[in-house]
Amino acid sequence: MSVTTASPVAAHAPMTREEKKVIFASSLGTVFEWYDFYLYGSLAAIIGAQFFSAYPPATRDIFALLAFAAGFLVRPFGAIVFGRVGDLVGRKYTFLVTILIMGLSTFIVGILPNAATIGIAAPIILIVLRLAQGLALGGEYGGAATYVAEHAPHGRRGFYTSWIQTTATLGLFLSLIVILFTRTIVGEPAFAAWGWRIPFLVSIALLGISVWIRMQLNESPAFKKMKEEGSTSKAPLSEAFGQWKNLKIVLLALFGLVAGQGVVWYTGQFYALFFLQSIVKVDGYTANLLIAWSLLLGTGFFVFFGWLSDKIGRKPIILAGCLIAAASYFPLFNAITTYANPALENAIKNVRVTVVASPGECGSLFNPVGTRIYTAPCDLARDFLAKSSVKYATEPGPAGSPTQVKINDVVVPYGPDFAKTTTAALQAAGYPNAATNTDIVKMSHPFDIFKPRTAAVIGLLFVLVLFVTMVYGPIAAALVELFPTRIRYTSMSLPYHIGNGWFGGLLPATAFAMVAATGDIYYGLWYPIVIALATFVIGLLFVPETKDRNIDDWHSH
């Protein structure tokens, strides 16, 4: 591997106007891409009601699964398709194409008639648009990161590319703000009927700005130089993944950097939001505001850790983020429950709940898109308790015995009135009534943040975001530096999108399935903890430090 060490002189040169434009254009476009992508996730329930609810459960399940899969599972395929184009044709035009696909797909969702108007064509078109979004996102990030890194002076790649790293968080933040603003202006009934379309329609203006700015950019110097020399790759896919010397680096990048980064990222932003709403029972408005505040406070640290990685290296910061996150998730999420819903925490500590069922009756509760219909009484009982945030254990009863739930000394047999009877017994034992519990953290407006418990929850969420910034701030520079220029776009995009789209994207569903299967509201945290620790060990032992590589001269292994 021929590696040239960076010249220290350029590291202190001030940022030129052209470099600022490159960072601004790349970052702004990527913010809008993430904005478009998150809108669907934030409004999934309303969109499902508009496009899927008219169909029988089996059809609805398939549509919901496809829409979910499109969002996350196709991203690596977008990385392969657009990564190849980016290494063959160039960085600039490829990520101009990705933003056009993303922006137009999002705008069309905003004007797409629902199932009541055009029938089954509506959900089919929606899923095609979601697939296009996932593919475009798969090509966008690698292009933006590669483009900025190839413009950055030696010794400042971490700082320059860290601006790209703020974009996913800013995109999520922007989507939450636009949704909250629209909901407030039009009111909840109108928002559910037609107002949900407004955030999608707004994206056309954002798209116009992004395309206009990106049209004015030049191709990256490293790619231009390589094209002039005639040393571009003729077959980036087979060179990147068909040769062990490069495939080995792709696998190390995935398991030694990106898998851990992906789960820490999704835990700090998405699972935290899911945990607040679905498990701690904080209302959606408050939960979104709490997350938005933590993101607002934490976003600057992406740039800080990117800058720091230029001084001390990419590896120590990313791996330290994985290790500290893994070590502190249990106490942090326990503390979130303590401050957000103390009545629930007391009930979890003091009320014994046991599901007693005939051996072999309890099956898997893995339900990634929330559409599975359970039939066995044991599964129905456990699913109900998990969704009610009840901590429970499962015990085998005598063979053939009916399923029952023991709440302290009260026995509730499974039957037609199970939900009603169990809820009453749980509340009598000390579990709070979610509808009437006045002890849950609640925000009446966006600046209602000075009550001690509200501030404490924001503080805890901020710590989770801090871990996100540690693992995510330096990751673009680390990935860019691992691969030679001729196959860089292709090579770095795939591990990034498998790590984030698959390991990270499946986290909330997998974690909740683990909660439901065990009856422990914190058990799902083992998923990110185990993957983050595995990344820490693999990264420590096998991933090289790359901050001093001169990527302009690094054409071959």
Q: Could you report the per-residue pLDDT of 25-74, keeping only the tens digit for each?
A: 888 877 876 787 678 777 877 887 888 877 776 677 677 767 766 777 78
251 and 134 in a common domain: yes
The residue with greater pLDDT, 143 or 13, is 143
pLDDT at 5 over 80: no
pLDDT tens track for 195-232: 999 999 998 988 898 888 888 877 777 777 777 777 67
Number of structural domains (the chain) is: 2
Going by pLDDT thresholds of 50, 70 and 90, the confidence category of residue 333 is very high
pLDDT score, position 6: 41
pLDDT score, position 517: 82
pLDDT score, position 217: 79
pLDDT at 313 over 60: yes
pLDDT at 16 over 90: no
Going by pLDDT thresholds of 50, 70 and 90, the confidence category of residue 22 is confident
Mean pLDDT of 473-480: 92
For 157, the domain range is 16-340+444-542
453 and 424 in a common domain: no
Residue 355 φ then ψ, to 5°: -95, 120
Place of tokens 């203006």: 205
Going by pLDDT thresholds of 50, 70 and 90, the confidence category of residue 537 is very high
How far is it, in rounded angstroms, from Cα 518 to Cα 526? Answer: 12
Q: Is residue 553 part of a domain?
A: no
Q: Is residue 556 part of a domain?
A: no
pLDDT at 411 over 90: yes
The CA–CA distances, whole Å, from 503 to 157, 225, 469, 496 equal 26, 36, 18, 10
How many other β-carbons are positioned within 10 Å of the β-carbon of residue 53?
13
Going by pLDDT thresholds of 50, 70 and 90, the confidence category of residue 342 is very high
Residue where one domain finishes, among candidates 400, 429, 458: 429
Mean pLDDT of 292-310: 93
Q: What is the CATH number of the domain that holds 352?
A: 3.40.30
Residue 225 φ then ψ, to 5°: -60, -45
How far is it, in rounded angstroms, from Cα 129 to Cα 126? Answer: 5
Residue 226 φ then ψ, to 5°: -65, -40
Q: What is the pTM of this model?
A: 0.86
How far is it, in rounded angstroms, from Cα 21 to Cα 93? Answer: 16
pLDDT score, position 371: 66
Least confident of 59-63, 87-91, 547-551: 59-63
Going by pLDDT thresholds of 50, 70 and 90, the confidence category of residue 414 is very high
The residue with greater pLDDT, 453 or 151, is 453
Mean pLDDT of 441-470: 94
How far is C-alpha 302 from the geometric centre of its chain's CA atoms?
A: 16
Residue where one domain finishes, among candidates 397, 429, 461: 429
169 and 290 in a common domain: yes
How far is it, in rounded angstroms, from Cα 528 to Cα 548? Answer: 30
Mean pLDDT of 460-481: 94
pLDDT score, position 7: 40
pLDDT at 152 over 70: yes
pLDDT tens track for 428-442: 999 998 778 888 999
How far is it, in rounded angstroms, from Cα 531 to Cα 258? Answer: 10
425 and 278 in a common domain: no
Mean pLDDT of 355-377: 82
Most confident of 18-22, 63-67, 120-124: 120-124
pLDDT at 385 over 90: yes
Which residues sit opposite 394 in a β-bridge? 355
Q: What is the dihedral of CA 5, 8, 13, 15, to 10 degrees?
A: 40
The rounded mean pLDDT for the chain is: 86
CB under 8 Å to 214, separation ≥6 — which residues? 25, 29, 92, 95, 96, 99
Contact 266, 508 (CB under 8 A): yes
Q: Is residue 396 part of a domain?
A: yes
421 and 451 in a common domain: no
192 and 258 in a common domain: yes
pLDDT score, position 11: 46
Q: Is residue 254 part of a domain?
A: yes
pLDDT > 90: percent of the chain: 41
pLDDT score, position 392: 94
Place of tokens 């185990």: 530
166 and 99 in a common domain: yes
415 and 383 in a common domain: yes
255 and 141 in a common domain: yes
pLDDT score, position 555: 46
pLDDT score, position 551: 75
How many CA within 13 A on the CB side of residue 510?
Answer: 15
Q: What is the CATH number of the domain that holds 51?
A: 1.20.1250.20
Candidates 358, 401, 406; CA nearest to 385 is 406
pLDDT score, position 368: 65
Going by pLDDT thresholds of 50, 70 and 90, the confidence category of residue 1 is very low
Q: Is residue 10 part of a domain?
A: no
pLDDT at 497 over 50: yes
Q: Is residue 75 part of a domain?
A: yes
Q: Is residue 222 part of a domain?
A: yes
Residue where one domain finishes, among candidates 403, 429, 455: 429
Going by pLDDT thresholds of 50, 70 and 90, the confidence category of residue 314 is very high
pLDDT score, position 412: 93
For the chain, report the end-to-end CA distance as a whole number of angstroms. 4
Q: Is residue 318 part of a domain?
A: yes
248 and 263 in a common domain: yes
pLDDT > 70: percent of the chain: 93
221 and 171 in a common domain: yes
362 and 333 in a common domain: no
